[in-house]
Homo-oligomer: A and B are copies of this chain.
Amino acid sequence: MALDHTNRRAAIVGTGLIGGSIGMALRAQGWVVTGIDADEARARRAVELGAVDTVGIDPSVDVTFIAAPVEAIPALARRALAETSGAVTDVGSVKASVVTAVSDPRFVGGHPMAGSEQLGVDGADPGLVEGAVWVLTPVDSTDSRAYALVRSVVATLGAEVLALPPQRHDALVAVVSHVPHLTAAALMGLAATGAEEHTTLLRLAAGGFRDMTRVAAGSPAIWPDICAQNRVAIVDVIDTLLAALQDLRGVVDRADREALLETLGRAQAARLNLPSRVAQPGAMAEVRVPVPDRPGSLAEVTTLATDLGVNIADLEIAHSTEGDRGVLLMLVEVDQAEAFRRALSDRGYRPSIQGLA
């Protein structure tokens, strides 16, 4: 069911840490990879490091990865769509603004939750995204062949693919990434006071404080773009956090033991629930879904899997000869297959399950 990657061709636009890592991983699997960067020296360095084969863009590539700062992505994506015939995807950490700005069936928004756009190609590592979550944001107008191709390539790199609507992705990363980052900076700011006080305070900072402020050591350079592109969601989550802290302030001020234990207990339970990312190898089943002739069904089916916590290990679209109708073939774990099938039925699909040896 996996695609044959031999002699496939990919392009990397932006050969920094993430772009370079993707290039290395693809080349390790036999892909021919070309690449460009706004900084020509960096593109040449990517060739030296084995991240890309040659500098440039091959017009006949199957897929192009745009690995540039968020603000630069729409223009670079449109250029790649104009100059190549393949699918185009990106690795930006904000999705709704990018997907809306590009608005092309061959463009599939993406966000590997690993590494950082800000670091150089010298830190590139073919294993960077292995085991990481890689969000893809198909929408109603997304071409199913383009989505299936991007999805397959990303899964081949060892990432766990999660399909989400772009707006929902943005709201979620505001919670798990953007606002935590701003909070780390605010906490670090509390410690950055006068010189004497500062020295003493930092000597007192033990493991918890170090953990909580680690991300604040990163370069600020990428944050103005991210905050501008995801402004609404970030402001909304900060408001929720302000309310939660205000509430805790009241709990401490009136020494409300019960309320404090309840809040901390809820947080403890949630933290202990954080998935550990260790893949559970198990028996797999194939869920087959005829894709009806209405727009957006691919996005609907794959984001439904995300909501149910169903991991689609592989996905293929068997197209009928007459246009857009076809059958979605999805590989999922045996014990998740029935719940997925039922949820699909509830939404008007006619899925079937095929056990695999």
Contact = CB atoms under 8 A, between A and B. Distances in A.
Interface string A131-163: 011010000000000000000000000001010
A239 interface: yes
A344 interface: no
Interface in A206-244: 206, 208-221, 223-224, 227-228, 231, 234-235, 237-242, 244
A238 B214 contact: no
A242 B257 CA distance: 22
A190 B183 CA distance: 13
A357 interface: no
Nearest to A258: B224
Number of copies: 2
A199 B249 CA distance: 28
A309 B197 CA distance: 10
A198 B267 CA distance: 12
A314 B331 CA distance: 66
Contacts of A182: 245, 248, 252
Given A186-B248, A200-B307, A212-B184, A205 B176 contact: yes
A355 interface: no
A346 interface: no
Nearest to A187: B180
Given A175-B191, A190-B241, A196-B307, A275 B220 contact: no
B244 A206 contact: no
A295 B185 CA distance: 42
A208 B204 contact: no
A220 B268 contact: yes
A270 B188 contact: yes
Interface of A: 113-114, 132-133, 135, 160, 162, 164, 172-173, 175-177, 179-192, 196-206, 208-221, 223-224, 227-228, 231, 234-235, 237-242, 244-246, 248-249, 251-253, 255, 257, 260-261, 263-275, 306-309
Given A220-B265, A227-B255, 7 more contacts: A177-B206, A189-B244, A202-B275, A217-B272, A224-B261, A227-B260, A238-B245
